[in-house]
Structure 1
């Protein structure tokens, strides 16, 4: 349980030392919340909501008379299959508490400390502290989206260069899943930011709401970038299917040419395979070489015809 009191310098205090007139921020565990929520005046329903074991991306944000309560389901943006972090936010007048519900890599505390380091202590407000922490949650996402764009571009180049490997469907599907999860993650942050801007319970100063607006706009840009990459993915996938169709057509053309070349040979073989006694070629000593010669001539003529037509 760590609480930071904001003044000319940031000091660490205990729960009992919290002053309602001084901006205080803290990081606590779910177990600590269960023992302290009554002292803060939080509803037990919010604690129950924190304890629900739900595996999903969309979080929640609820507005009470004198505080906001929200849950953010975080992801490891580089390893998107891990729903790694789950945190709850409590926001009261001059009080901001982050509850760690699930944090496998201990990144939440690190991001909270980074937020403290990046804010101007002399001009610190509750709104600025909250937005600084929220922005740390997306601080690496621009780089991640650039990496995803590069992966998609590489797949597109492979299609153009006819260097498609059998892993392409798996690769493009993984990227699309990654983008979908990121899109859902940004949606919950947008809802959170817009709810804070509405300031229904008058916790924030009107002129300070711009910090939430700036944060929300940044998340919206990330969400827009994700949508653009999703469309890019769809175009690349269509190009892949078009290339596969072209390859299949090429194979079918080859089979057609081969069948057309050997069809006359099949006719010749079937004709002389009837073995009628009245066939003079059957008893002629040059009959067999003649059939071979005719077959070779037919193949050569067919090959020249198809090459002239540029069919292979």
Structure 2
């Protein structure tokens, strides 16, 4: 028998469940994979690539030699499973394989779209259009962490199924699970690579900020150095001493000229050294 239902409707299939499986399903939260004599219970948190901000609902898949049941935590996950399995008519092993293959069908494109979004954000950072780039990068990193955990749990499930320790799957069934395991591994690697890419983007962003700060500090340092001799003159003529040049007609203009000359000489010197 094959059936899709909510957790609350488990009483409909309870007579067909093993006592161990029924007890496990009544005491949630569930583990990611439970394999026992006569049945397998697979549990994962579904990540909806079309609504990333949505909370990940739990889906449990129970199957034995005669039955295959999909138990969903909420109506969104129930509708998703029904949509993926609509029009499918396979034996349990093949139906399980086609369900997961359809579930992961567009995930590669989703990761490629994420890569494009990160690249566009990086380009905006380079162009110094940084007002909203940093919050977006943090959002992408958080979502990719969820994706990484999602593919990680699926990979663990497929790997254990391919091992077939309870001999519940046929040789063809283990082969199909191996295919699913390889697909989950590729998606997991893609999510990890994108998180590494985001880390590199953040490092580049920080380097760009440091560069701008260093340029600003350099400008302040050069300006301070240019006007430092004038500060010396101010301190000199601020002393309470009778200086001879104060009694000459051209003493004040000479001091002004010397000040201007010092500024010009320092600016020429700094420009030659490419400090300004």
With normalisation by structure 2, the TM-score equals: 0.90
Matched residue of 1:83: which SS? Answer: coil
How far apart are residue 281 of structure 1 and its match?
2.4
How far apart are residue 157 of structure 1 and its match?
2.3
**What are the equivalent positions in structure 2 for 1:228-307 lying under 5 Å apart?**
228-277=193-242, 279-307=243-271
Residues 1:40 and 2:17 are matched in the alignment: yes
Quick one: structure 1 residues 97 and 35, their matched pair in 2 at CA, closer, same or farther if it must change by over 3 Å?
Answer: closer
Other-structure match for 2:38:
66
CA distance in 1, matches of 2:197, 2:161: 33
The count of corresponding residues between Structure 1 and Structure 2 is: 275
| Contact 1:114/1:136, CA 8 A, preserved across alignment | yes
Quick one: structure 1 residues 284 and 275, their matched pair in 2 at CA, closer, same or farther if it must change by over 3 Å?
Answer: farther
Other-structure match for 1:83:
55
Q: Which one of the candidate residues 173, 186, 190 is aligned to 2:138?
A: 173
How far apart are residue 159 of structure 1 and its match?
4.1
CA distance in 2, matches of 1:70, 1:111: 14
Other-structure match for 2:68:
96
| Contact 2:125/2:133, CA 8 A, preserved across alignment | no
**What are the equivalent positions in structure 2 for 1:56-205 lying under 5 Å apart?**
60-103=32-75, 106-117=76-87, 119=88, 121=89, 124-161=90-127, 163-205=128-170
CA distance in 2, matches of 1:217, 1:294: 79
How far apart are residue 167 of structure 1 and its match?
3.5
How far apart are residue 243 of structure 1 and its match?
1.6
CA distance in 2, matches of 1:195, 1:150: 34
Unaligned stretches of 5+ residues in structure 1: 1-23
CA distance in 2, matches of 1:275, 1:285: 20
CA distance in 1, matches of 2:161, 2:238: 89
| Contact 2:5/2:78, CA 8 A, preserved across alignment | no
Residues 127-165 of structure 1, C-alpha deviations (whole Å, 9 max, x = no match): 11001112232223222211211122123323444x151
Residues 196-233 of structure 1, C-alpha deviations (whole Å, 9 max, x = no match): 22222322221232221111111111011112112222
How far apart are residue 48 of structure 1 and its match?
2.4
Matched residue of 2:239: which SS? Answer: coil
Other-structure match for 1:11:
none
CA distance in 1, matches of 2:16, 2:2: 16
Return the structure number with greater helix share: 2
CA distance in 2, matches of 1:208, 1:71: 18
